[in-house]
Amino acid sequence: MRGDRIFGLVMMIVALGYILSATTIRTSFMSDPVGPRIFPYLIGGVTMLCAFAMMLKPDPDVEWPIGATLLNLTIALVAMFAYAMMVKPLGFILPTIIVSGILSYQINPKPQLAVLTGLGLGVGLYVMFKFVLGLSLKGLPPALMG
């Protein structure tokens, strides 16, 4: 119970810092009526509400994962961190294929299905983000793009 309260307090401080940093976002004279700050304010506000609820009504003490579960969580955490580091130099598609394949394999340890899931998510998300949503994404590394 104490761990939840400490985590809630830390998240309150982080959310407050997030909201305060959002106040420095500059608005242009041609922005929409809502402005670019509203989304960070909403995220920070919801985080503060959740942290407050966690501090008021913490869960009873639970057992932390050990063994294989802890190893799988560590692999997933390292994969997500590596993904964040790989996207810029390698483009969107390759890191997405690799990391979604790893995470898919952890969920269902069938190699063929993990490879297909990785390929489907890598290419499918790129097509959706680039062509449907119009985001500016580099699909592949600059060396491969020529």
76 and 26 both lie in a single domain:
no
Asked whether residue 50 falls in the same domain as residue 80, the answer is no
Instruction: Please give the residue range of the domain that contains residue 108.
Output: 68-132
Q: pTM here? A: 0.65
In the chain the first and final C-alpha atoms are separated, in Å, by 56
> What pLDDT digit, counting tens, does each position of 13-45 carry?
999 999 999 888 877 666 666 667 788 899 999
DSSP, collapsed to helix, strand or coil, labels residue 30 as coil
In-domain check, residue 143: no
| Structural tokens at position 57 | 């009504």
Q: Can you give the three-state secondary structure of 78-121, one letter per residue?
A: HHHHHHHHHHHHHCCHHHHHHHHHHHHHHHCCCHHHHHHHHHHH
At 103 the pLDDT is 96
